[in-house]
Structure formats: structure tokens, C-alpha cells
Amino acid sequence: MAIDQKFAYHSVSNEETLEKLQTSPDGLSEDEAKKRQQAYGPNELTGKEGINPFILFLNQFKDFLILVLVLAAGVAWYADHMVDVYVILGVILFNAVLGFVQEYRAEKAIQALKSMLKQEAKVLRRGKPQTVEARELVPGDVIALEEGDGIPADARLLRGKNLQTIEASLTGESLPIEKHTEPLPEKTNLGDRVNMLWKGTHVARGSATAVVTGIGGDTELGKISHSLGSIKATATNFRKKTERLAKQMAVIAIVTSAIVFILGYFFRDYPFEEVLLITVATLVASIPEGLPAVITIVLAIGASRMASQNAITREFSATEMLGSVTVILTDKTGTLTKSILTVGKVYLGDGTELEVSGTGYAPEGELTRDGESINPAESMVLQQLLLIAKVCNNAHLGEAKAGEEENGPEPDVTGDPTEVALLVLAKKAEARQGRELPQAHVIDDLPFSSEQKFRATLAAVDGQRQLLVVGAPEKILRLSTRILTQEGPQQLTEEVRRRIQDKNDAWADKAMRVLALAYREGDNMADDATSKDVQELVWVGITGIIDPPRSGVQEAVADCKSAGIRVMMVTGDHKRTGTAIAREVGILEPDAKETGFPLALQEDELESPEYVFEDLVDHVSVFTRVSPNTKLRIAENLQSKGHLIAMTGDGVNDAPALKRADVGIAMGIRGTDVAKDASQIVLSDDNFATIVRAVREGRIVFQNVRQTSFFLLTTNFAFALVFIVTLLLGWPFPLTATQILWVNLVTDGVMELGLATERGHGDIMKRKPVPRNAHILDRSVVPYILLMSVVMLGLTLAVFSYYLPQGEGLARTAVFIVISMTQVFNTFNMRSLEFSVFEIGMFSNRYVNMAFVVSVLLQLLVIYTPFLSGVFSFEALPLLDLVTIILLSSLVIWAAEAYKWFTRKK
């Protein structure tokens, strides 16, 4: 009989579980395990395979712009312009190679972030413990787990001793989950199935024996990984924009070239061959053959800048897309918060409330009262609390290790995260007072259990026995009869009990996990302490433990809001915790009240008849205890309303929405491999604040693509207009076919590369996101294009008419200079259509300056080098005439300055 790995094992007893899995508490035999390995395969995910360089290279040829260039190359080949054919094919190849190299390097960077360690598992085979590779586990195997172990497969808990697991990567829950063996209702949510253990999570405390119920793709982690294959990634909005741009520019080029041919052949009776050559040259010059390469270069520069700020771009289009997002869906644990529990507040029995600074595991920070630093040694009550925190504790802090944490190197830690937080508190105090707390010899220990809700340690402190206790405040309060003050233990009155309870409630509303610390003199206690000894305690104080927000997150959320980006929290954590963190980081205003819609919702509340799901997504910004399917549903609902969304996360549960989002952003340090493979951008520092810097770079990318496109369109349109008007006037062609192509090379082919490097101007993060349906080329630029075209046309006609009586050769040389220089000067205008070039710095972009010098040198080279001037039919202009024409060409700068001044005044 085949084993059903999809059965709801959480809903049946241990005995029924073992029966369905055809196993026993002693595990499988070696022979049966081998049979099942053959039948069910290895316990590993059939995830994304390595990079296929060939496929990655072929992906570079998908753009419509590439098709336009291929057609242009075909026309040039037909007209026997083989030089143009080679140039265009070279551009196509350059674009493909550049894109391939950048994306290949990004993939390698992602792979370098992944862990390469093999996981092992302790398994029982007919009662004999063995250690095997986790990939060898099969359904029915009985595994043994201890504190710190990673859970190698989905399993039903058979026996557990003080067992708690960390499931943040799967469910989003940041605190340890207590486990027990009793059956649960079949429809229990994944995060509440406390009798199950999940592959990809780990044991925080205690020990366990469990039977494997699912391996590989049949685990909850595997199901999410597999579901990614069925999620169709949407075509990127940027690709749609560039394809539309290519079509627009191709149509303009074809129409203007056709007009040139019709006027020259039908109305001016030029020979067919001459008209055809001019038309083909005009077409090749008008089609933006350099645009695909320039777009790739712009994206590559943006990706490089983002990488230098810890955002690795896996797909080029995501660089620009990030600058256009209108909504960021973010997880809480490990994304907005550090996923490191830290003691933030201390409330002592004498009524003193202290703040504790410092986050992370490093014992760096201080205790303050009313903003003033205190020495812990000055308070007897605080010393006792710190002693309990240190001794009634099973956690360990190792040596600091070099890493990528935002606060520098972090120590290795083992143990329950809450106990780690208490131990770090004690270490901070010891560092502050310059000496260790009193030495304590542990005699006996009572581990924490969910039934008793406390843990206790019997220890000898300076020769005196004390029973040190840490636990739930309400439980410890019931077991306490006295309270420690600076004058010594005092009677615990009802008024003091109410004050403590009020403080506990206030901290809980701020998403703090509150723990109480107490003790009892134990000189008369036996060496083997029991839970019955935990009574008549002396209350010492409480600690408020938080998972603190990452540094810079609050500012990052504020920047997103000012940039017109809505930030939504979608987490597997509890509603109270999610709401408190949302208030702290600014997703919710500190004084926000419910007005028509709740501030936060749990998944089971989404189908309430009181609300419509679509309305909730529009008005609620905090969703808690949500499953992967609900995350995906929220993302799809927002996209259906026209939003461009970015999804951030690090857990397996984030992967489906990461893939479905317009931009998926995974955490590089704590992120799972599944999450990274589903994303387009990976944050190598796991810092939400990095996203804001990446958004800014993304907006610059779009701006540079738009300005480069405007530059190409302006020059090409003005160029075509010159030919049309001269033909209408009955003048000769202002340039020959070869001269047209050289103009194209020394202007478009050089200057656009400088524009690709432009940095943003003004406060780009104060602007609203570019609308989803906004085109790169839109009507807003039409007045500028017309103005520049008229100026360029007027200068060209004036120069052509002036030199034409002196011969066509000299006139065409002058036209070549004026057309080239007006287009070169126009590059400075296009650095910003909003700010004056003198305001941003005429020479502040060294790459534009370098391109300017190269372009001018190429013009002079072809005019004043005898061989080249003969090939291109140019005649040397007198130096004074050359300088005069260049100065006249600079009029485009002053015309543009007038345009910018006028538009700003409107």
C-alpha cells in the first residue's frame, strides 16, 4: 500500500499516524528504508538548476528593438551598404554580450550567497540510532531531534520534552512555537499545527522524537517551491515600454524616409539609384540602432550602482521597474525587524523603569533611566534581576564572528531566543559596570514547560542557595508573596500587583514579550528541585523583549511614502505584534484609529461578511497570520487594479508572491534559496532601507532611458526634416548617403553613451511613481522636439544657402558641421529637461564631456584628413568659418534654456 504524504496527520493520534505510515516507534528496517528510497526518491527539492549560459544568451534577443535592427540590416544589405550591415550586426552582438555578462554575473553573485552545507539527520532503524544524510530520509522514518537541530523533513511529533521550534522561515512567526502531541482539528491552519514539525525550520529548545510524514516535494516547503512553477511571471512593464518605443521610433523613421523618397523621386526627378541610396541612408540614420545597446548600458549602470548599495539585480528590467512600483508588500520578521529578540525595557520591583539600548547579540549597549545612563552596580534590585537573567538560562554566546550584520560582527548563539535576549542583557550590564555578576554554581535545573509556564534554576550564589525563576508574568505574580526593593523584600500588596499588571498589559500592546523574574532563598531545599519548590517567591521585575526594527527602516518607510509608494505589511506573525511594529516603523501612524476599516486583519477575518476583500486590500495596510496563498491573492488583486508591486521577504512562504510580483526582492543573508530563486533583486545586507536607495536608482534608470530616447528622436526628426524641407525648396540633397551615416556615427553613436551615465537631478524621491501605462515617448516632449527641430532646421538652411553658391562640396561640409554640432550640443540639454544645464553643472558629467571631445575630433578628422575627406567628399572649411558655425550651433543650448525657464514659470 502506498503511503499518502498529503494526509492530514495532525488530525489523528500517534498510533494512527504510525499505522498509516506503516512503521513503528522503533523506526524502519534498513531493507524497508532502501525500498522506500527507491519508491519515493531523495528527500530534496527539485528546485532551480544551475545557470544555462546558452539560454541566458538567447534571452538577450527577445526585444522588438532587435527585430527592427535586423530589418534595418536587411535593407542596408539590399542596398549593398555592407558597412552598415556590419555596424548594425555589431551593435546587436554588443548588446547581447553586455546583457549576458551582467546577468550572468548577477546569477553567480546569488549563488555565492547560498549555503552549501549538507544536512544530516539522526534516525532510528529498528531501534538503533544512526546518522544519515537528510536526503536519505523516507516517509515512516523515526527521527530524533535536539536543541539547535535543523528539521530535515515534515514530521508528526511522537514525543517531545520542552520542545519549541522556530518557524519564521515558513510561517513568519518570529517567536518559538511550543509543541505537543495531541491531535488537532483537520482544518487547523499551518502555523497552528503544533503537533507537526516542518522541513526548513529548527529546534529552539528541548528534544523530540518524530515520524517523517513528508519528504522532498511533498513537504510544505516543497509544495511552495513546486507552486512557483505554476505561477506565470507577468511580462515586465519596462519591456512593454521599450517595445512600444521601438515601434514608435521605427514608424517615424519609415514615414520620414518614405516622404524623402516620394519627394526626391516623384517630385524632383532625381535618379532612382541616388534617391534610393539617400532614402536607405536616412532610414538607417533614423532607426535608433544604438538604442538597444544604450538601454542595456543604462540598465547595467543602474544595476552596478544598486549592487554597490547592496541590491543585486538578477534581471535587468527589474532595475527600472523598481523605480516605478506603487506598492511594496513586505514581510515583518527579518525584513522590517532584525529577527533577533532583544530586551528593550526593564521594570523593577521598586517601580524603576529602564530603557536598554543596543540591538543584536553583541553585548553592547547601556541601561538608562529618564534618558540618563546608570551604572547597574548602584541598584541592588537590578543586580538581582541581572543575576537571574544570567543564571536561570540555558543559552550560550560564542565569539563574535565577522559577518554582514548592520551593527558589525555578531556572536554565535545557541538556545531559546528569549533566553539569549536575557543573557545578552546580563552581558551588557557586566560590560557597563566593568565586572562580572556574582559567581553562581548551578545545582539543579527545571526546564520551561507550557504547563507550568516557568523555568527555574537552583544555584549557589556566593555560598547561599537561591531558586531563580523566569516565566510568564501572570504565573510568577500568583506564586509571589513579596517584592524586592532597595530596602529589601517587602510585602506584595494588591495595589502593587495591579501596577505590575498594568505595566505588563501596556508592554504587551507594544508587541513585547514580557517575562517575569523572581527568586526564593533556598538554603533548606534539596539538591533535586521540583516545581513544588516554586512558591512564596520574591518578585524582582519584568523584562520587555522585542524583535526590534532594523536601523533605517523607519526613515525608509517615510521615504517610500514621500515617493508615492504605499508600504503594506503581509506577515505570518500575530496581529498585535504586526500592528505594534507597523506603528513603530511608520506603516501605521502612531495615533492611527480605526475609521470604517480595521488597522490590521488576520487571514481568518478576510472573509468576514462585513467587508469585501477588494476593499480591504485598498484600505488595510497590515495583514497578519496569512498563508502563502493569501499573500499571492493580495498581490494579484493589487496588480489587477493597475498597481506595480514589489514584494520583499526571506522565507519560503514568501516565494509565490515574490515570483508573481512585478519586482520580487529577497533577503540575501537570512533568505532561503527558494525565496532568492523566485526574486529579481536580492538584498545582500537584508536591510529594508536598501530598497529606498534602489528605488532611487531605478527612477534614474527610467529617466536616463527617456532622456536618451528623446535625444535620439529629436536629432533624427530634425535630421529628416532638413531633407524634406530642402527637397520642397528644390535644393540639392544637403548630404550624401555616406555623409549621413557618418553624422549618425559621430552624434547618436557617441553622445548617447554619455547620456546613459547621467545621475538624477533634484529630489527624485519626492516625485510620484511613473504610472504603469506611461510611455517612454509621450506628448510632453513634443513641444521641445518641435522647438529643437525648428532651431536645427533654421541653422542648417541658413548655412546651406550661404555656402551653396560656393559649391555643393563646401555647402555639404558646412551642413555636416552644423547638423553634427547642434546634435552634440543638444546632449547637454537632454541631461535634464527640467533643470538648467548651468544649474546642474555644464561639465559635471565627465562621460558627456569625453563624448563631446570624441565627437568633435571625429568631425575634424573626416574634414581635415585628406584621405577621409576624399572618401566622404568633404572640403576643408576656413578655421574662422568652422568656429563661427560651431558657435552658431550652440544656439540650441540657449533655446533649450529659454524653454526650461518658460515651462518652470507656467
* Catalytic residue numbers, as ranges: 331
Residue 522: how many other CB atoms lie within 10 Å: 21
Instruction: Answer whether 311's CB lies under 8 Å from 690's CB.
Output: yes
Residue 446 Cα distances to 164, 203, 457, 539, angstroms: 16, 19, 6, 19
Instruction: Answer whether 337's CB lies under 8 Å from 577's CB.
Output: no
| CA dihedral sign, ordered 659, 661, 667, 671 | negative
Instruction: Answer whether 863's CB lies under 8 Å from 877's CB.
Output: yes
Residue pointed to by grid coordinates 547637454? 828
Give the DSSP H or E segment for 490: strand 488-491
Q: Give CA–CA dist 835/585, Å, rounded.
A: 34
Find the DSSP H helices in 3-49. Answer: 14-20, 30-40
Instruction: Provide the b/e sequence for 125-153 (b: ≥16 CB within 10 Å).
Output: beeeeeebebbbbbbbbbbbbebebebbb
Instruction: Answer whether 311's CB lies under 8 Å from 683's CB.
Output: yes
Task: Locate 278 and state its grid cell.
Answer: 539617400
Q: Strands 681-683 and 311-313: what pairing? A: antiparallel
CA dihedral 199, 201, 207, 212 (to 10 degrees): -10
Q: Give CA–CA dist 293/601, Å, rounded.
A: 47
List CB contacts of 439: < 8 A, sequence separation 6 or more: 461, 462
Task: Locate 716 and state its grid cell.
Answer: 533624427
For residue 458, give the 3-state DSSP assignment: strand
Give the type of residue at 672.
T
Instruction: Answer whether 405's CB lies under 8 Å from 360's CB.
Output: yes
List CB contacts of 860: < 8 A, sequence separation 6 or more: none
Q: Give CA–CA dist 86/83, Å, rounded.
A: 5
List CB contacts of 15: < 8 A, sequence separation 6 or more: none
Residue 815 Cα distances to 276, 802, 854, angstroms: 21, 10, 19
Give the type of residue at 895.
A
Q: Give CA–CA dist 618/591, Å, rounded.
A: 20
Beta bridge partners of 666: 649, 682
List CB contacts of 546: < 8 A, sequence separation 6 or more: 341, 342, 343, 344, 510, 511, 512, 513
Give the type of residue at 352.
T
Q: Strands 645-649 and 663-667: what pairing? A: parallel
Residue 871: how many other CB atoms lie within 10 Å: 12
What is the total residue count of the chain? Answer: 906
Instruction: Answer whether 36's CB lies under 8 Å from 22's CB.
Output: no
Q: Give CA–CA dist 199/13, Å, rounded.
A: 21
Task: Locate 843 and state its grid cell.
Answer: 561639465
| CA dihedral sign, ordered 775, 781, 782, 786 | negative
DSSP state of 337: B
